[in-house]
């Protein structure tokens, strides 16, 4: 089973003060090697947020230690345009452009589950690991 990795899970993994840190560490330890995938927009988002929230030292740790365990794929033109159209149609409300890209990426590849701490994935119809409390 292939599992999509979202920015929210990456942050919960590395930030010990994150309320979801424990559950994401536990879930991450149970994934099969080679089962995790994300896309380059998530990597860009992670870099920007890590720089601002955690400091530049964390960027190297995330890139050197965590990202090598995840298959990072390019976003093709079709996926990009679908996400952009959905984002524009929403007037910018709701999920971010990166999240909408993730949803299109997952649908295109028949990925049903996301390693995420973001309710937008549940609302979009995906299984979320770890399970979010109601």
pLDDT in tens, 20-37: 999 999 999 999 989 999
Summarize pLDDT for 83-127 with one digit per residue, the tens. 999 999 999 899 999 999 999 999 999 999 999 999 999 999 999
Summarize pLDDT for 35-91 with one digit per residue, the tens. 999 999 999 999 999 899 888 888 888 999 999 999 999 999 999 999 999 999 999
Whole-number pLDDT of residue 133: 56
User: Which H/E stretch holds residue 106?
Assistant: helix 97-108
Whole-number pLDDT of residue 55: 85
For the chain, where are the E strands, in sequence order?
3-5, 36-39, 71-73, 113-115, 127-129
Specify the pTM: 0.94
CB-based contacts of 44-47 (< 8 A; 24+ apart in sequence)? 45/7, 45/98, 46/7, 46/10, 46/11
Over pLDDT 70: what percentage of the chain? 98
Question: Which residues partner with 18 through β-bridges?
Answer: none
Residue 30: CA atoms inside 13 Å, Cβ hemisphere, count?
10
Summarize pLDDT for 4-25 with one digit per residue, the tens. 999 999 999 998 999 999 999 9
């Amino acid at each position: 089973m292939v599992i999509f990795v979202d920015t929210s899970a990456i942050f919960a993994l590395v930030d010990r003060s994150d309320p979801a840190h424990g559950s994401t560490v536990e879930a991450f330890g149970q994934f099969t090697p080679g089962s995790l995938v994300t896309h380059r927009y998530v990597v860009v988002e992670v870099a920007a947020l890590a720089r601002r929230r955690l400091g530049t030292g964390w960027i190297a740790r995330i890139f050197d230690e965590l990202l090598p365990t995840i298959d990072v794929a390019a976003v093709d033109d079709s996926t990009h345009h679908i996400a952009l159209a959905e984002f524009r149609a929403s007037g910018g409300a709701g999920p971010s452009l990166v999240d909408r890209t993730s949803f299109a990426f997952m649908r295109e590849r028949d990925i049903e589950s996301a390693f995420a701490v973001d309710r937008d994935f549940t609302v979009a119809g995906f299984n979320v690991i770890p399970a979010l409390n109601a």
